[in-house]
Amino acid sequence: MSDKYTQAIEASKVITDDAAVAAAVAEIIDKHLAENKNIDTYKFLFNTIDLTTLKATDSPASVADFTERVNAFEEEHPELPNVAAICVYPNFAQVVRAVLEVSRVDIACVSGGFPSSQTFPEVKVAETALAVDGGADEIDIVLNVGNFLDGDYEGVCDEIQEQKHACREARLKVILETGALKTAANIKAASVLALYSGADFLKTSTGKEFPGASLEAAYVMCQCIKEYYEATGNMVGFKASGGVATTAEAVAYYTLVKEVLGEKWLTNEYFRIGASRLANNLLSDILGQETKFF
């Protein structure tokens, strides 16, 4: 007899045939990519960036300098929208909060034993709560991939729900680590579990140990978000992360979100790209000359 977790996964009608997913993605990109290659789209995409620094060498001084560049962007390019958020390790939330002067840029923190999700559930909850106390508006956690692949869906969902509770008013992004899940069937199952555990965003990847975002994974995730919205009325965001570095790559994800989820999702409340290199590449294409601002 299947449990409520398996039943929720089995009830989903999202396609899980990998070849069919690849064909659907290819058709969308072939039909619609060209129409989105324009300055307005590039400006929008810049405003969806979670500008990220997640290095072993990060320090209070380096993170403060990183944040100052976002402040400076507002002054030097008042005609352009700023990035959506600054994404850092949880111990730097207070640094960003102290230095950030721009009102429309959020503070995002990775948490919960990022990037492996391999630590005690109590530590994950504490880390999330401390990041929120430090000023985080958004929390990015990694779904427990090991437990998921073992079929411990209850354990996976319990961890997400506990961290969601620890977020209080902050929004929770759940990273599926699609490069480790590999198949459309696994990505669908993980998406369903995360959605019904209270995720405010589904995010593709950490960009660390495994392959990063793929359009095929994004397609399955967006279809799950759409199905969940139709069933519950709850809008959940989508974030592509891990290797999205060029303007062309960003436009491809924009195209997919636009065609699968629709215009309602074309706002940085519901669409993000996690990146460190993309910002300068988009800026270069917006301004028409090579720009290395960040």
What single string gives the DSSP state of each residue in 44-102? HHHTTEEEE---TT--HHHHHHHHHHHHHHHHH-TTS---SEEEE-GGGHHHHHHH---
| Amino acid 211: pLDDT | 86
Distances in Å between the alpha carbon of 40 and those of 43, 227, 232, 282? 5, 29, 32, 11
Out of 137, 239, 258, 285, pick the active-site residue.
239
Tell me, yes or no, if the pTM score tops 0.85. Answer: yes
Does the pLDDT value for residue 1 go beyond 70? no
152-176 pLDDT tens trace? 999 999 999 999 999 999 999 999 9
Catalytic (active site) residue 164? no
Catalytic (active site) residue 203? yes
For the chain, the straight-line distance linking the first and the last C-alpha, in angstroms and rounded, comes to 54
Catalytic (active site) residue 188? no
% of the chain beyond a pLDDT of 70: 99
174-199 pLDDT tens trace? 999 999 999 999 999 999 999 999 99
Out of 140, 164, 188, 258, pick the active-site residue.
140
Backbone torsions φ then ψ of 121, nearest 5 degrees: -55, -35
Does the pLDDT value for residue 283 go beyond 80? yes
Out of 164, 173, 188, 203, pick the active-site residue.
203
Does the pLDDT value for residue 267 go beyond 90? yes
